[in-house]
Amino acid sequence: MQSAELKQFVVDKVDDLKARDIVVLDVSNQSNITDYMVICSGTSKTHVRAIAENVIVEAKKANIPPLGVEGRDSSEWVLVDLGDVILHVMQDQTRDFYQLEKLWSEKQD
């Protein structure tokens, strides 16, 4: 699966579980480890965990096993590394604190 297709796959799967504020960042010019970051929010620890688990299960079904998963225990911020796409599922307060969108957005001239 090409990186653009994988990005859309991830967006579809997080949307299936009603993730909020889905943002896709093209970081291919800033990172040599991934092409896209998908960032979204869940309403609770349970919701964050469920969104991430849905992506993990569906990716495995599609023969795209995650390279790594971090944060399942606390479920304030769960990262799912699918290679060309890295998914960040966060609770609102964690997302506000780390501001990944601001950190990874390309500078506007």
Backbone angles phi, psi at 69, to 5 degrees: -135, 130
Where residue 106 falls among pLDDT bands split at 50, 70, 90? low
Strand 85-91 and strand 36-42: the pairing is parallel
Query: How far is Cα 52 from Cα 42, in angstroms, rounded to an integer?
Result: 10
Percent of the residues in the chain that have a pLDDT greater than 70, as a whole number:
96
Where residue 109 falls among pLDDT bands split at 50, 70, 90? very low
Predicted TM-score (pTM) of this structure: 0.93
For tokens 């969108």, the residue is 101
The per-residue pLDDT for range 66-80, each reduced to its tens digit, is 999 999 999 999 999
- The arithmetic mean of pLDDT across residues 50-59, rounded, is 97
- The arithmetic mean of pLDDT across residues 30-51, rounded, is 95
Residue 93 structure tokens = 């307060």
- The pLDDT value given to residue 58: 97
Which fold is adopted by the domain 3-101? Beta Polymerase; domain 2 (3.30.460)
